Amino acid sequence: MKLTPPNLQIAFRNVTDVRHFFFYPTIGSTNDKAKELAQKGAEEGTLVVADCQTAGRGRLERHWFSPPGLGLYTSIILRPQVPAERAFGIHMAAALACVEAADAQHLQSVVGIKWPNDLVAEGCKLAGILSEVGLQGGLVEWCVVGIGLNVNHTHADFPPDLRDRSVSLRELCHRRIDRLEVLVQLLEALFPWYDRFLQGGIEALDPEWRRRSTLLGRTVRVETAGETYVGTALSLESDGALRIRLESGAEEVLHAGDVQLVQYR
Ligand code: BTN
């Protein structure tokens, strides 16, 4: 089904956690719109969906390729009231939901989570998640979870600089995919993971996250703003930071960075 307001209305009838939605044929960034709505008091479960983004953003203000008709670009407003240092759990819930939505398409490949915010398959990026928060007194007042998922792109649809490091659901299962169906599956998976996080914290999500992590137990190279670290990815800290054991045996806790797998264990 096409991404249109009437179709979204029908599709969300059974997704009771979606309270309101805003659809845009074209928008700058669904995250920017959702942040604006959140700051004006939009309630939890408000969703922004676009067919196309002209200024889709990723981590470190990187551009997110968002052509019409091919990808899923959505941002969800949540109001978890958890301490700021626990906010990564929302991001984890979104990553697990994306994995489930991808799995629901019966892909021939395994989809994994690459810390901090990528979904990967066959060594290429399938989706990215950009979570942004507004804090009040040390608590998360609102969180906008922005998800960009490559759905119906062919290899040639990606620009040359992304072509060899991006993949879509369509490429992974050799058929066109219904974006609306994927969106519903994503939301149906997200809210239960989110509830689990609210009840049990990051620890409640950690076993499944670990199971789907492409990094834990493997040798990684992490480039941060000033340094490059090589070591074994050990675990996630309670705030979502990545703990690695360096070749020297010392351990380092990294809060952000670009990660590459160096070798398998
Ligand atoms: C990343 O890989 O760094 C995250 C990419 C997140 C892209 C999505 S698309 C929907 C939402 N709106 C944006 O501007 N960004 C996110």
Task: Check if 56 has its Cβ closer than 6 Å to any atom of ligand 1.
Answer: yes
- Percent of the chain exceeding pLDDT 90 equals 91
pLDDT digits (tens, 9 = 90+) for 110-126: 999 999 889 999 999 99
* Residue minimizing CA distance to atom 1 of ligand 1: 58
Query: Using CA atoms, how far apart are residues 264 and 235, in angstroms rounded to an integer?
Result: 16
Task: Check if 131 has its Cβ closer than 6 Å to any atom of ligand 1.
Answer: no
pLDDT digits (tens, 9 = 90+) for 127-157: 999 999 999 999 999 999 999 999 999 999 9
* Residue minimizing CA distance to atom 7 of ligand 1: 148
Task: Check if 29 has its Cβ closer than 6 Å to any atom of ligand 1.
Answer: yes
pLDDT digits (tens, 9 = 90+) for 207-254: 999 999 999 999 999 999 889 999 999 998 888 899 999 999 999 999
* Residue minimizing CA distance to atom 2 of ligand 1: 128
